[in-house]
């Protein structure tokens, strides 16, 4: 039948999910495979889109449905609403992407006061007929007419109590007939409408109700979370009913082709005798394990397992299946590629490769970095009845237990003594870094997913819950108070669930992750670890992108290496100026002349040389990209306001203020900037603070000499931050080369060190061709590039309005989490093209947070970036995603390389 909006099952296939919805497309596919699917047809999503736009179904749709209904009636030999032996249909929702249970489905359409007797007579089962009618009036009442579900439930509960019944199975025909009458009365009272007796009117209104359920609250919330567009619409499938509720030789169930929790092969599922589909999910009765069907109905069981095998082979993936047995006859009502846990995803991918059903590129397309991350987090066993202290944004996943501390000194003191701590702060700043490093988890009262605390914690792989607004944090009083008044004093043990965004009082039991143990040690074990290891090997063999780490310390470097880093793509040097060295930095800042500066710089040199030597040793044989000092100098001075208060207090009490403190205060007053993000930092610092980069470069050069003398194989590279014009780069580069040559000459060992630049300002990207002439490599600093392209300061936007933008749909994802392809991405693309045109051998990397973000990694692969550099903890996922991005590699080639 050639019609516009309606498609018979035997006319479609699985490729048509956009039009027929996943459910309709797979029903069509199974029909074509010759499986026992009750016949029917599907109204396309295009009709729903018209309905959503205009509030009306498209002109002619009702006539089309009539045509297909006639075909269906002819095929089955029964008519909708026929009093003697009626055809009943289900009216089912089904969108392109599975939204399980989020929209409505109406069963048993076609029953009325007359045909219920016909059904009873034709089936010979009176109770079943009345049970079906009861279900229709109830479902129709709630979904089509909008009666509150509780109104019907109340009737059922009261009737069960009157009859002393535990469940609905005990109702007799007279009970059910009475319930139907009561249900109809409820509908009349609540809506002023009659339950429609005309079957065709039932059908038409049901179709419209399913369309409408697309915009229901449940469905909308689900779409937002799953990033499903709001304008796709749902298809509606109309299908002949089969009856699992027609007696003990009937039933309904759900089956998986393998275990969706672990991926193990076998028969998994639930079976409910004498029931209709919705009973399984609604949990009105406890289902049996599917295996028990083998004893109840061996023929149907065998048939079912045969079909499960066939479907898995056909779809080449885990499928889940809805089935119904009507009087010993098996019917398949739905299948789809089944949802699964992260563990199952990896295990199934490998199992299907081993069974020859898919190749490795396909296997890699079935797992992702997010799932791999999930497998690396330690987890709480169960929350049980622990006291919930706070709820906030799940900013960095995982589970951690520790003693609450409120500031850096307490955090570091306790951690140094071996006590695990949880740092609780109203918000964090770079000053809190040592405390964050010491802590197992960070909890903040303010800020969201991209606040300082969240970003830093994720980078370090620390658990973090931020924006816990209900938690009253009293730093001075060293305690915090939960929403329910629970007071937690410093030192109290709490459990932080960064995956759920919750904090509990007390220590919840932790389960360690086997996958993390594997990544740390390389020791494989059967099961999920082996599956992850194999997928990572395949991804490594397939990927074109090199994956390096952002690592600032020897310990980070060593971990990065264990996690598979091909080197360091970003080694920041600012931490080398903290701690006890801060005093030297203060001297440096206070100095007015070169001569004053000299002693501080000379004192810093050996520290830096030792740092670099250790890092180059940890990354022996691999590149280490060292970024020269980037942040503004005043960040190294004590907090301006606090210092002002201290000095004022000292003066007020008549004390003589410490002269050093006064000088530092004056310096910070002098260096204070309106907008530090755009102030004296990066390459500007190198040009304006004489001696600073010379000292850094000398430390690098001397570290190289030391490593070479020790028999090592150092590969440092020097990276200049925040370049806007090639003129800046030229000047700094000349200085770098001068110092390296000097060190080389003194030592008698040539120091070879490529010099490149970060591309993190729009102007740098726009003039990439010129800049490339003076750079050996580019590294996109996508954090600053995003800030400067959008004109957004990340922390300010996060604190003030980013969440609101996301809620209102102005942004679908934070540009600080996933690269903004159209804007920032366009600059990246342009810089890659023009940089390479000017200099074909230019190496190009990315070292912003985006380098660890799966969606962004696919973009970087696409535009021809050479390498990613991300935090060590994100390395495994980045390797996997880079392999996935490379996509269709020759399977044999991958297998060959693996041997
Ligand atoms: P959902 O997408 O929420 O699972 P479905 O459209 O699959 O909704 O239907 C709900 C329940 O009704 C399922 O258990 C399904 O198997 C059952 N069902 C749907 N159509 C029929 C039918 N024609 N005959 C018997 N049961 C059906
Ligand atoms: Mg279903
Ligand atoms: Mg930057």
CATH no. for residue 178?
1.20.80.30
User: Is residue 532 in a domain?
Assistant: no
The pLDDT > 70 percentage for the chain reads 97
Q: Whose CA is closest to atom 6 on ligand 1?
A: 92
- Tokens matching residue 763: 């102007």
Domain with residue 473: its CATH number is: 3.50.30.10
Confidence grade of residue 639 (pLDDT, cut at 50, 70, 90): confident
Q: How far is the CA of 251 from the centre of ligand 2 (A)?
A: 15
Measured distance CA(550)–CA(581) in Å, rounded: 22
Confidence grade of residue 892 (pLDDT, cut at 50, 70, 90): very low
Q: How far is the CA of 834 from the centre of ligand 2 (A)?
A: 52
- Same domain membership, residue 289 and residue 256: yes
- What ligand 1 atom has the least distance to the C-alpha of 280? 14
φ/ψ of 398, rounded to 5, equals 120, 180
User: Is residue 501 in a domain?
Assistant: yes
- In tens, the pLDDT along 740-775 reads 999 999 999 999 899 999 999 999 999 999 999 999
- Same domain membership, residue 279 and residue 177: no
pLDDT at 865: 97
- Same domain membership, residue 187 and residue 286: no
Residue where a domain terminates, one of 441, 476, 511: 511
Mean pLDDT for 199-214 is 96
Query: What does DSSP assign to residue 849?
Result: G
Mean pLDDT for 99-106 is 82
Give the three-class secondary structure for 505: strand
Domain count, the chain: 3
Q: How far is the CA of 277 from the centre of ligand 2 (A)?
A: 8
Domain with residue 299: its CATH number is: 3.30.470.20
- Same domain membership, residue 171 and residue 73: yes
Q: Whose CA is closest to atom 12 on ligand 1?
A: 277
- A 10 A CB-CB count for 476 gives 7
Measured distance CA(393)–CA(69) in Å, rounded: 51
- Same domain membership, residue 330 and residue 410: no
Catalytic residue among 452, 634, 715, 850: 452
Q: At what angle do helices 594-618 and 582-590 cross, to 10 degrees?
A: 150
Residue where a domain terminates, one of 511, 527, 561: 511
- Is residue 724 a contact partner of residue 763, using CB atoms and an 8 Å limit? yes
pLDDT at 890: 41
Q: How far is the CA of 605 from the centre of ligand 1 (A)?
A: 73
Q: How far is the CA of 201 from the centre of ligand 1 (A)?
A: 21
pLDDT at 209: 96
Measured distance CA(652)–CA(648) in Å, rounded: 6
Query: How many CA atoms within 13 Å lie on the side-chain side of 681?
Result: 21
pLDDT at 285: 65
- What ligand 1 atom has the least distance to the C-alpha of 240? 23
Domain that holds residue 184: 69-240
Q: Whose CA is closest to atom 26 on ligand 1?
A: 277
Cα diameter, the chain: 108
Which ligand lies nearest the alpha carbon of 720?
A: 3
- In tens, the pLDDT along 208-265 reads 999 999 998 878 877 876 778 889 999 999 999 999 988 899 999 989 998 877 778 8
Spatial CA neighbour of 390 closest among 470, 477, 475: 470
- Same domain membership, residue 318 and residue 262: yes
Chain mean pLDDT for the chain: 91
Is there a catalytic annotation at residue 452? yes
- In tens, the pLDDT along 566-615 reads 999 999 998 888 878 888 888 888 888 888 889 999 999 999 999 999 99
pTM flag (> 0.85): no
User: Is residue 394 in a domain?
Assistant: yes
Confidence grade of residue 449 (pLDDT, cut at 50, 70, 90): low
Q: Which long-range contacts (CB under 8 A, 24 or more apart) does 878-881 make?
A: 878/369, 878/547, 878/851, 878/852, 879/536, 879/539, 879/540, 879/543, 879/547, 879/564, 880/364, 880/367, 880/368, 880/369, 880/372, 880/535, 880/536, 880/539, 881/368, 881/369, 881/539, 881/854, 881/857
785 has pLDDT over 90 = yes
Q: Whose CA is closest to atom 15 on ligand 1?
A: 277
The pocket around ligand 1, CB under 6 angstroms, is made up of 38, 90, 92, 100-101, 105, 107, 239-242, 276-278, 322, 324, 333-334
Considering 287-296, 457-466, 648-657, the range whose residues carry the highest mean pLDDT is: 287-296
Q: Whose CA is closest to atom 16 on ligand 1?
A: 277
Measured distance CA(315)–CA(23) in Å, rounded: 14
- A 10 A CB-CB count for 200 gives 16
User: Is residue 718 in a domain?
Assistant: no
- What ligand 1 atom has the least distance to the C-alpha of 105? 6
Q: Whose CA is closest to atom 17 on ligand 1?
A: 277
- In tens, the pLDDT along 136-170 reads 999 999 999 999 989 999 999 999 999 998 888 88
Which ligand lies nearest the alpha carbon of 631?
A: 3
Give the 3-state DSSP-derived string for 589-646, with helices as H, strands as E and coil as C.
HHCCCHHHHHHHHHHHHHHHHHHHHHHHHHCCCCEEEEECCCCCHHHHCCCHHHHHHH
Q: How far is the CA of 107 from the centre of ligand 1 (A)?
A: 7
- Same domain membership, residue 82 and residue 231: yes
User: Is residue 205 in a domain?
Assistant: yes
- What ligand 1 atom has the least distance to the C-alpha of 40? 23
Q: How far is the CA of 586 from the centre of ligand 2 (A)?
A: 67
896 has pLDDT over 70 = no
- What ligand 1 atom has the least distance to the C-alpha of 102? 3
Q: Whose CA is closest to atom 18 on ligand 1?
A: 277
- What ligand 1 atom has the least distance to the C-alpha of 322? 16
- Same domain membership, residue 382 and residue 322: no
Q: How far is the CA of 221 from the centre of ligand 2 (A)?
A: 19
Q: Which residues surround ligand 2, an ion (CB under 5 A)?
A: 334
pLDDT at 348: 95
Q: How far is the CA of 795 from the centre of ligand 3 (A)?
A: 14
- Same domain membership, residue 468 and residue 423: yes
User: Is residue 656 in a domain?
Assistant: no
Distances (CA, A) of 6 to 1, 32, 53, 327, 786: 9, 17, 19, 31, 47
Q: Where are the beta strands (DSSP E) in 98-242?
A: 105-109, 234-240
User: Is residue 863 in a domain?
Assistant: no
Residues in Cβ contact with 150 at an 8 Å cutoff, skipping those fewer than 6 apart? none
Mutate to test the pocket of ligand 1, among 40, 86, 92 (most ligand atoms within 8 A of CB): 92
Q: Cα 342 from chain centroid?
A: 12
- Same domain membership, residue 136 and residue 194: yes
The pLDDT > 90 percentage for the chain reads 69
- What ligand 1 atom has the least distance to the C-alpha of 242? 24
- Same domain membership, residue 203 and residue 273: no
Q: At what angle do helices 45-54 and 17-32 cross, to 10 degrees?
A: 150
Mutate to test the pocket of ligand 1, among 334, 336, 338 (most ligand atoms within 8 A of CB): 334
Residue where a domain terminates, one of 491, 511, 531: 511
Mutate to test the pocket of ligand 1, among 254, 333, 338 (most ligand atoms within 8 A of CB): 333
- Same domain membership, residue 425 and residue 333: no
Measured distance CA(271)–CA(280) in Å, rounded: 8
Is there a catalytic annotation at residue 575? no
User: Is residue 537 in a domain?
Assistant: no
- Is residue 21 a contact partner of residue 56, using CB atoms and an 8 Å limit? no
Query: How many CA atoms within 13 Å lie on the side-chain side of 791?
Result: 0
Which ligand lies nearest the alpha carbon of 779?
A: 3
Residue 677, judged by CB atoms within 10 A of its CB (0-12, 13-18, 19+), counts as middle
Catalytic residue among 319, 350, 464, 847: 847
pLDDT at 511: 78
């Amino acid at each position: 039948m050639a019609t516009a909006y309606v498609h018979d099952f035997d006319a479609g296939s699985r490729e048509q999910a956009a039009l027929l919805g996943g459910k309709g497309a797979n029903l069509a596919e199974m029909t074509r495979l010759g499986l026992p699917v009750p016949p029917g047809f599907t109204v396309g999503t295009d009709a729903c889109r018209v309905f959503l736009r205009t509030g009306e179904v498209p002109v002619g749709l009702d006539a089309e449905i009539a045509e297909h209904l006639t075909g269906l009636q002819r095929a089955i030999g029964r008519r909708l609403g026929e009093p003697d032996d009626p055809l009943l249909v289900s009216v089912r929702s089904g969108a392109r992407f599975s939204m399980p249970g989020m929209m409505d489905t109406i069963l048993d359409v076609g029953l009325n006061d007359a045909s219920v007797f016909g059904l009873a007579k034709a089936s010979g089962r009176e109770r079943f007929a009345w049970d079906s009618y009861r279900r229709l009036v109830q479902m129709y009442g709630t979904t089509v007419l909008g009666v509150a579900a509780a109104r019907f439930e109340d009737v059922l509960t009261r009737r069960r109590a009157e009859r002393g019944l535990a469940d609905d199975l005990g109702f007799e025909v007279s009970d059910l007939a009475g319930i139907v009458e009561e249900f109809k009365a409820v509908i009349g009272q609540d809506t002023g409408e009659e339950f429609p007796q005309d079957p065709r009117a039932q059908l038409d209104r049901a179709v419209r109700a399913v369309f409408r359920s697309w915009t229901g609250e449940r469905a909308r919330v689900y779409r937002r979370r799953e990033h499903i567009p709001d304008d796709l619409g749902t298809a509606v499938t109309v299908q002949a009913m089969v009856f699992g509720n027609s007696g003990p030789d009937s039933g309904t169930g759900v089956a998986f082709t393998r275990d969706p929790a672990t991926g193990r092969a076998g028969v998994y599922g639930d079976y409910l005798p004498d029931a209709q589909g919705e009973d399984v999910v609604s949990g009105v009765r406890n289902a049996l394990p599917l295996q028990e069907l083998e004893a109840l109905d061996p023929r149907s069981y065998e048939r079912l397992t045969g079909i499960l095998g066939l479907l898995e082979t056909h779809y080449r993936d885990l499928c889940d299946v809805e089935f119904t047995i009507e009087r010993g006859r098996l019917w398949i009502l739905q299948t789809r590629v089944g949802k699964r846990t992260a563990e199952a995803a990896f295990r199934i991918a490998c199992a299907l490769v081993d069974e020859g059903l898919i190749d490795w590129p396909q296997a890699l397309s079935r797992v992702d970095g997010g799932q791999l991350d999930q497998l690396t987090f330690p987890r709480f066993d169960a929350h049980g009845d622990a006291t919930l202290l706070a709820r906030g944004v799940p900013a960095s996943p995982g589970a951690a237990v520790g003693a609450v501390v409120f500031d850096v000194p307490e955090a570091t003191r306790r951690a140094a003594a071996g006590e695990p701590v949880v740092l609780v702060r109203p918000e964090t700043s770079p000053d809190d870094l040592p405390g964050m490093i010491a802590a197992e988890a960070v909890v903040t009262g303010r800020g969201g997913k991209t606040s300082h605390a969240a970003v830093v914690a994720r980078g370090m792989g620390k658990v973090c819950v931020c924006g816990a607004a209900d938690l009253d944090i009293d730093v001075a009083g060293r305690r915090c108070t939960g929403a329910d008044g629970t007071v937690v004093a410093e030192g109290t043990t709490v459990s932080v669930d960064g995956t759920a965004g919750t904090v509990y009082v007390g220590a919840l039991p932790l389960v360690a992750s086997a996958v993390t143990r594997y990544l740390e040690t390389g020791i494989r074990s059967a099961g999920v670890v082996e599956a992850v290891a194999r997928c990572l090997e395949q991804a490594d063999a397939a990927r074109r992108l090199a994956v390096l780490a952002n690592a600032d310390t020897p310990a980070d470097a060593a971990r990065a290496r264990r996690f598979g880093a091909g080197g360091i793509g970003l080694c920041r040097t600012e931490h080398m100026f903290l701690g006890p060295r801060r005093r030297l930095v203060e001297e440096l800042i206070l100095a007015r002349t070169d001569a004053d500066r000299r002693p501080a710089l000379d004192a810093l040199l050996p520290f830096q040389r030792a740092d670099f030597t250790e890092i180059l040793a940890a990354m022996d044989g691999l590149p280490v990209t060292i970024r020269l000092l980037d942040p503004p100098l005043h960040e190294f001075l004590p907090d301006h306001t606090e210092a002002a208060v201290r000095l004022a207090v000292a003066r007020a009490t008549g004390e003589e203020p410490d002269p050093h403190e006064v000088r530092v205060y004056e310096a910070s007053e002098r260096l204070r900037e309106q907008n530090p993000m755009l102030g004296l930092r990066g390459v500007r610092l190198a040009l304006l603070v004489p001696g600073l980069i010379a000292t850094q470069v000398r430390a690098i050069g001397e570290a190289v000499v030391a490593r070479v003398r020790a028999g090592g194989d150092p590969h440092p590279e020097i990276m200049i931050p925040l370049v806007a014009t090639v003129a800046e780069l030229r000047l700094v580069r000349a200085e770098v080369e001068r110092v390296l040559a000097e060190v080389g000459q003194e030592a008698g060992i040539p120091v070879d060190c490529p010099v490149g630049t970060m591309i993190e300002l729009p102007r740098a990207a726009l003039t990439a061709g010129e800049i490339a002439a003076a750079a050996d490599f580019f590294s996109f600093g996508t954090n600053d590039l995003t800030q400067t392209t959008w004109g957004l300061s990340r922390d300010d936007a996060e604190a003030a309005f980013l969440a609101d933008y996301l809620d209102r749909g102005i942004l679908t994802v934070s540009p600080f989490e996933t690269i903004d392809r159209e804007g920032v991405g366009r600059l990246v693309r342009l810089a890659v093209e023009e940089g390479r045109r000017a200099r074909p051998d230019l190496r190009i990397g990315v070292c912003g947070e985006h380098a660890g973000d799966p969606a962004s990694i696919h973009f970087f692969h696409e535009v021809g970036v050479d390498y990613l550099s991300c935090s060590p903890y994100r390395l495994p996922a980045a390797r996997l995603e880079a392999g996935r991005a490379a996509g269709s590699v020759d399977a044999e080639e991958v297998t060959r390389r693996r041997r």
